[in-house]
Amino acid sequence: MTEGQDVAARPASERGNGRDALGSGRLLADSDFGHAIDANPGMEHEAVPGSASAEPSPTYSYAPVPEQEFSSPGPHDEAEAPIARVDARRLESALLKLRHPIVTVPLLLEAPRVAEARAERVKLLSQIDDYLLPRLRQSGAPILVALVGSTGAGKSTLMNTIVGKEVSATGVLRPTTNSPVLASHPDDMRWFAENVFLPTMPRVRQQGLAMPGRDGLLVLAATEGMPRGVAILDTPDIDSVVEAHHDFAHQFLDASDLWLFVTTARRYADAAVWKTLKDARDRGAALAVALSRVPDESAAELQTHFDAMLDANGLGDVARFLVPETVVKDAMLPTEVVEPVKAWLTDTARQEDRRMAVLTQTMSGVLDTFRSRVPGLADLVNEQLTVRRELQMAVEDAFTAGLEQVVEATRSGSLLQGEVLARWQDFAGAGDLLRGMQVRRNRDNRAKKVNEPAASMTVPSRASALREAVQVGLESLVIAAAAKAAEDVVASWQRQQAGASLLRDLDAAARRVVAGEDFVATALADLGITDAAGPPADRRDSAALARPTGGLAAAAAAEISGWQEHVRELVQTDNVTKRSVARVVSFDADSLALVLTIGLLAPKAKDEDATEDASAAPQQLLASLFGAGLLRSMGTRVRRDLRQRVKGLFLAEARRYFDVIDSAGVPDEGAGTALLQAGYALQEAR
Amino acid sequence: MSATVTTTEIAGDDADRAELSVRLAALDRLTQIGAARTGPDGFTEELVREAGEVLARAGQRLKLSSNHTVVSLAGGTGSGKSSLFNQLAGAEFSTVGVTRPVTRDAHACVWGMAGAGPLLDWLGVPPRHRYPRASALSTAERSLMGLVLLDLPDHDSVLGEATDVVDNLVGLSDLMVWVLDPQKYADNAVHSRFLVPLAGHSEVIAVVLNQCDLLAPTEVEECATDLRRLLDSENLREVQILVTSAKTGEGVEELRKLLAQAVTARRAAAARISADVDKLIAAFEPFGVRMPSGGGNPDREGGGAVRLGHAADSALVSGTEIQLGAALAEAAGARAIGDSLRSARQLRAADYVGWPVSWMVERFTSPDRARKVKLGALWQQLSDITAGPSGAQQAEIDNALSWVADNQVPPLPPPWSRTVREALRSRVEEIPALIGAEIGASLPRGTGVDRWWRLVGILQGLLLGCVLVGCGWLVALLVLGVGKVDPGVPKLFADPWLLPWPAALIVVSLAGGWFTARTSKRSVEAAAERESAELLDEVHRRLTAVAHDLIVRPAETELAELSVFRQELLIAAGGEPQE
C-alpha cells in the first residue's frame, strides 16, 4: 500500500516474488507443488522461492515419463534433484476412482440436506471433470484466468482493453454478458477444443466483432492481442436477477486456474461480493482482485478501506489492482489504465515459477477442499441411509403398535363387549351351552367321530351367532388397528421432508395413472388380458396409503375364521377335557371352542369379587373342564396363533409402504464407505 | 384530521379507513380461525405469524398520526439514497461518503414535526436522527407538509444488521421509494428479496433510477426501458419509474411532486395496509376454495375469486347420523342384546306359564349330568347371565368413524379435510361409555314378569291341582269302590261307575295345561319379539342422537367455521358477504 494514487493499477507485492503475491505460502508446502504439477514431466523446475524464477521455461509437452515413478526422493536440495513425486497418472487414476462413487452416490430420498448434497455432487464432478482431470492430463495448457464479479463491474470492458479488441459485448443493460467469452492467443486455441475443455459445453468460434451470444454458449475468441500461455474468460455475473447465470458462472469458475475478481467502488461492500470472495478463499484458488470504476478524487480513501476489508477477511495477501473510472470508448478503457493488469497476466504466463505457483495453488487448493468435502458428501450419503431407515422404522413402529393394540384388546377384555358380550350372554343364559354339553352324552362314544359332520350342523343358532360375533369383533379390531397404523405411517411420513416428498411424488404419479387408466384398461381388455369389468386396482396415492388396503377385510376374515377353525381343531383333536369330566360328559367341539375363545378374551379376574361378573363364568367353566395347567398352555398356543396370523396380515399391509420407499431407488449401503475410501486414496496419491 | 384538508378529502379518507377497518377485522377473524388450525398442510405457523404482524402493524399505524405519510428511500450500497435524501431535504442531513457502506442507521426528515413524535418512536428512528423541516416554508415545501422521509441503510451491504433494519422499516413505511442505479439495477439482492415479494404493492411503490448523469441520454433511455421490462416481469407493472440524478438535480423535482401527491392524498398509509391485507388474503384464499366433487383442481373463477353459492360442502352427507347410529348399534351389539332379551323373557316366562308336568317329564327322562360333575353352581351362574348393557367395540366405532371421514365428508381444501376429520374423532373416547348408558336406559325396567303370566301360573296351578285331585279321586275309587274296602265311605268315592269322571278330569286338565302352556308361550314369544323390536328401535333412536351429539355436530361445527372463513375471506377481500 505504499504506492500513490497515480498508479492506475497496482500489483501489490508480486514484483518481487510471484508466490508471495499469490499467497501460496499460506496454502502449500513445496512438495505439494511438485505433486500437483507432476503431470508435466518435461518441466524440471521446482517452485522454490528464488530458485527457478530466472530460468527460461522449456517446451511443454504432454508425455509422462514413467521413470519418474522410480526416481528416488532427492535430498534437501530440492532445486537440484526432483523431490519425491507422485506420478500424475496415479493421481489421475485416484481421481477417476473417486469420480465413480461420486457419480453413483445414492441421493434418492428428499432428506433435509439432499439439495445441498446434489449441488455438492455436481460441483465435485465439475471440478474433477472440468478442472482437475484436464489439468493433470495437459499441464501445458495456458493458464485460464476467469474474470469474476458483480453485474456491471466492467468485466467485459476490462477484458476488451486487455485484449485490445472488442471481444466481449459491453453495455449499460444488466446483466450484460449472457454467454461467456474466452479469449486466447490463436496458438493456444487448440487447448480449448471440445474434447479437452468443458466437454459438455457447446461453443462457437467468434468471427469478427463481439456480438451477444446465445445463453449457455461459450464464445471462443482467438486474438493476437493475448499473450501466449494465458487465456481470459469473461464469465456471466454472479449476482444479477438472472439466476441461471450464477450456476453457469460457477461452472466456469471451477474450471479456471486463476480468478481475477472485479468489483467496483460502488459495490465493494455488497454482501454478494464478499460471499464470492470467501468462496474463493475457501476453495484455495489463486486469486487477484481488481477494484474498478474508482473515482480519482477518492481513490486513496477507497483503497485504504478496501484493503482493510480484504485483510479483515483473510485475503490480505492477494494481488490487487485499482482501475480508475474513465471514459469508455469503443467498449474499451484507455490502454494505460489496465497496463499493470496485463503485465501481471503476461508475467504469470511467461515466468515459469509464477505459472507453476498459480497452477499448484489452485490444484492443491481444490484437492485440499476434497479432504473435507468428500467425507462431507459421505456424511450426506449416510444421512440418506438414516432417513431411509427412519421411514422404514415409521412403518415398522406403526404396525408393531397396531399388532400390540390387537393383542392388548384380546387380553384386556375390551373385545368382550358389545355384540360379542351380548351374544355370549344370550348363548350362555339361554342354556344352549349346557345343552351342547349334554347333547352327545346320549350317544355312543364310538359313534362320535362318525357323527361329527352331522353334529356341526346341529349347532344351535345362538352358538353360530356368537361365533360370528367373535369373528366380526376380531375383524373390526384388526381393520381398525391397520387403519390407525396406516394413518400413523402417513402422518409420520408427512412430518419428515423425505416422506412428504415421497407422498407428493406418489400423488403426482397417481394423477398421471388416473389419466391413463381408461386407455390402458381398454387396451388390456381388447387384448383379453384383463376383464374390462374387473374391479379397479387399488389407487396408489397418499390418501389411499393412509387407509388399509381394499383386500384387508377379506384377508382378515379368512385369517380369523382360520384361527377359529384352529381353536376348534385344538379342542377336538387334543383330548383336552379333564379325564374326570370326560368320563361323564362330552361337549361338542364348537361350543367348547367358543367357551375357550370367550375365556381367552375375558380379562383375567383381578380379585375374587369379580367372580360375579359375567366374564368370569367361562374361565371358571374352563378351569373346571380342562384344569389350570392345560388351560394355560392351550391359551398360550391359541394366542400365539392369533398373533402370528395378525402379524402376517400386517406384514402384507406394510409391504406397500416398503415398496413406496424402494420406488425411490434402493441405495447401496456401502456407498458412503466407498466414497470415504476413494477420498483417502486420493489424498494418499498426492 | 388536520384543519387544512378539505371536506371531500376527509370524506374520502374516512371512507377509506372505514373500509380498511372492516377488512382488517375480517382478516383478524381469518387469522384467529387459522391460528386454531395450524399445520404443515395449510395455515402454516409462518403465515399466521405474518398475519398477526400485519394486523398489529396496521392497528398501530392507524392509531398513529394520520396527518403524516411515511416515505422510505431504500436501495443498495452506493445507489445514492443519502444524496437524494439530502437533495429532497435541502440540507446535508445524511452523510454521503465514498467508502461503503455509509448509512448504517435510518435517518428521518420530517415536514411538520407536530404530532410526528410517537410515529417516529414507532418507526424506531432515534431522536438524534430526526430532522425537522418546518421552518422557511416555501410553497413547494408546504405541499410536503406531513411527509416523514426516511433514509434507510443499505439492504445489501456486508453489515447484516442493517438488512434487518431495512426489512423492518420497509414493512412500516406507507410509501416505498426504491433507489436503483445503472450499475446495480438488476441485482438479485434487491429484486428477489424485496421487489418480488412486494408484487401486490404497486400502488405504494415507486422506483427511482438514480445517477442518470453517469450515462449518455440514449443509454438512460435504454436502461429505463430494461428496468421497466424487468419490473413488468416481476408483476410490478403499475410501479412508476423516475429517472433522477442527485448530483445534477435532474428529476428530483418530479420525485418531489410524487411525494407531494402522496402526502396531500393521505391515502398512502391506508393503501399500504390494504396492499398488505391483499397479499395475506391471497395466501389465505387456497384454504377457502371449493373443491369439485370429483376431485381434481380447485374450482376458481377469474381473478382468483372464490366461487360462492352452492353450499354443498358445508354439511355432511344427509342421513349420516342415521347410518352412524346404526353402525354404533351394531358396535354395541344391539341386535344381540335384543335376541338375548328375548331368550331371557322366554326362559323366565316358562317358569310361570310352562306346564310343570312336561318339565318334570323332561327332567326325568334326561338326567342332569352337569350336577354329577359338580357343575351345578355354574349352571346357576350361567342361568343368571341375562341381558344387560354391554358397552361397545371400540374398533367398530373407529371403523365407523373412518367410514364417515372417507365417504360422508364433502371434498374440502387441505387444512379443513384434516380438521374435520379430527373434529369427527374429537369425542371418540366418550362414545363407548355413553353407548353403554344409552342401552342401559333402553332396556325394559322391572322384573319383566307380566301380570297375566301370574294368572296363567295360577291357572296352571289349578289345572295341576285338578290333575292331582283327579288322581286322588281315581285312586280312591279304585281302592274303595272296586275293592269295596269300607262300606261307610260316601258313594262319591266308592261307586266304581264314577271311574270315567276322574279319568276325564285328569285328561282334560293335562290337555288344558299343555294347551295353556303352548298358547301362552306363543303369546310370550310374540310379546318378546315385539319388545325386542322396540328395544332395537329405541337403541337406534338413542344412538342416532349420540352420533349426532358426539360425531356429527363437532364435524358440522367445523364445517360451519369453514363457511365463516369463506364469508370473512370475501369481506376481507373487499367484497360483500353473501347469503
User: DSSP for B312-357?
Assistant: GGGSPPTTHHHHHHHHHHHHHTHHHHHHHHHHHHHHHHHHHHS-HH
> Are β-strands A230-234 and A218-222 bridged in parallel, bridged antiparallel, or unpaired?
unpaired
Q: For residue B82, which of B71, B63, B96 has the smallest C-alpha distance?
A: B96
Q: Do A433 and B181 touch (CB under 8 A)?
A: no
Nearest one of A279, A207, A287, A208 to A250, comparing CA atoms: A279
Amino acid letter, residue A644: Q
Cα-based angle A570, A576, A580 (whole degrees, multiple of 5): 165
The per-residue pLDDT for range B501-540, each reduced to its tens digit, is: 888 888 998 898 888 888 888 888 888 888 888 888 988 9
Question: Tell me, what's the ipTM?
Answer: 0.72
Inter-chain CB proximity B226 and A441 less than 8 Å: no
Closest CA to B403 of B312, B323, B330: B323
Give A456 or B393, the one with higher predicted confidence.
B393
From residue B315, give the alpha-carbon distance in Å to each of A135, A187, B409, B553: 71, 80, 8, 10
**Which is more confidently placed, B557 or A595?**
B557
Read off the pLDDT of residues A520-575 as tens digits, 9 standing for 90 and up: 666 665 665 544 444 444 556 777 888 888 888 899 999 999 998 888 888 777 65
Give chain B's mean pLDDT.
Answer: 79
Task: Count CB neighbours of A674 within 10 A.
Answer: 19
What residue in A sits closest to B332 (Cα-Cα)?
A418
Residue A88 has pLDDT above 90, yes or no: no
| CA dihedral angle for residue B200, residue B206, residue B209, residue B210, rounded to 10 degrees | -140
DSSP code for A313: T
B378·A621 Cβ contact <8 A: yes
Position A62 scores a pLDDT of: 34
Interaxial angle between packed helices B500-547 and B451-476, expressed in degrees from 0 to 180 and rounded to the nearest 10: 160
> CB of B83 within 8 A of CB of B97?
no
Average pLDDT score over residue span B239-252: 87
Model confidence at A647, pLDDT cuts 50, 70, 90, reads very high
Calculate the alpha carbon distances from A583 to A445, A587, A619 in Å: 10, 12, 21
Residue B576 has a pLDDT of 61
What is the spatial distance between Cα B255 and Cα A456, in angstroms, rounded to a whole number? 100
Which chain B residues have a beta carbon less than 8 Å from that of A431? Answer: 347, 382-383
Q: Are strands A230-234 and A181-184 parallel, antiparallel or unpaired?
A: antiparallel
Is A271–B158 a contact, with Cβ atoms under 8 angstroms apart?
Answer: yes
Nearest-angstrom CA–CA distance, A610 and B112: 88
Strand order across the A286-294 sheet: A203-205, A218-222, A181-184, A230-234, A143-149, A258-264, A286-294, A319-324
**pLDDT for the residue B284:** 87
DSSP letters spanning B410-472 = PP--HHHHHHHHHHHHTTTTHHHHHHHHHHHHHS--S----HHHHHHHHHHHHHHHHHHHHHH
3-state class (DSSP) for residue A268: coil
Percent of chain B whose pLDDT exceeds 90: 3
Subunit contact A239:B215, Cβ cutoff 8 A? no
The residue count of chain B comes to 579
pLDDT digits (tens, 9 = 90+) for A122-142: 888 888 888 888 888 877 788
Going across the sheet that includes B147-151, the strands are B130-132, B107-110, B147-151, B69-75, B175-180, B205-209, B240-243
Q: Is B326 on the interface with A (CB under 8 A)?
A: no
CA-wise closest residue to A351 among A665, A18, A686: A18
Res. A672: pLDDT tops 70: yes
Whole-number Å distance between alpha carbons of A522 and A513: 14
The answer to whether the predicted template modeling score (pTM) of the entire model surpasses 0.80 is no
pLDDT tens for residues B426-461? 888 888 888 878 887 887 766 667 788 888 888 888
Query: Worst-scoring range by mean pLDDT, A428-437, B269-278, B403-412?
Result: A428-437
The answer for B 85-114 residues in CB contact with A (under 8 A) is 98-101
**Helix (H), strand (E) counts: chain A:** 23, 8
If pLDDT is split at 50, 70 and 90, which confidence band does A102 have? confident
Q: Which residues from chain A sit within 8 angstroms of residue B384, using beta carbons?
A: 429
Contact A318/A19 with Cβ under 8 angstroms?
Answer: no
**Which of A473, A481, A585 lies closest to B393 in CB terms?**
A473
User: Dihedral of CA B183/B189/B194/B200: which sign?
Assistant: positive
Contacts of B496-501 with CB under 8 Å at 24 or more apart are B499/B474, B501/B473
Indicate whether A28 pLDDT > 70: no
SS3 content of chain A, % helix, strand, coil (to 5): 60, 5, 35
Residues above pLDDT 70, as percent of chain A: 71
Tell me the C-alpha to C-alpha distance, in Å, between residue B206 and each of A66, A539, B175, B179, B239.
Answer: 69, 52, 8, 9, 6
Question: What is the share, in percent, of chain B residues with pLDDT greater than 70?
Answer: 83
Using alpha carbons, select from A232, A264, A228 the residue that is nearest to residue A160.
Answer: A232
d(CA B464, CA B451) in angstroms, rounded, equals: 20
| Nearest alpha-carbon partner for B205 in B276, B303, B143, B132 | B276
Q: Which of A504-518, B83-97, B175-189 has the highest mean pLDDT?
A: B175-189
CA distances to A83, A86, B492 from A67, in Å: 14, 11, 150
What per-residue confidence (pLDDT) applies to A643? 92
Burial class (CB in 10 A: 0-12, 13-18, 19+), A450: exposed
Give yes or no for residue B94 having a pLDDT over 80: no
Cis ω for the linkage preceding B496 (within 30 of 0): no
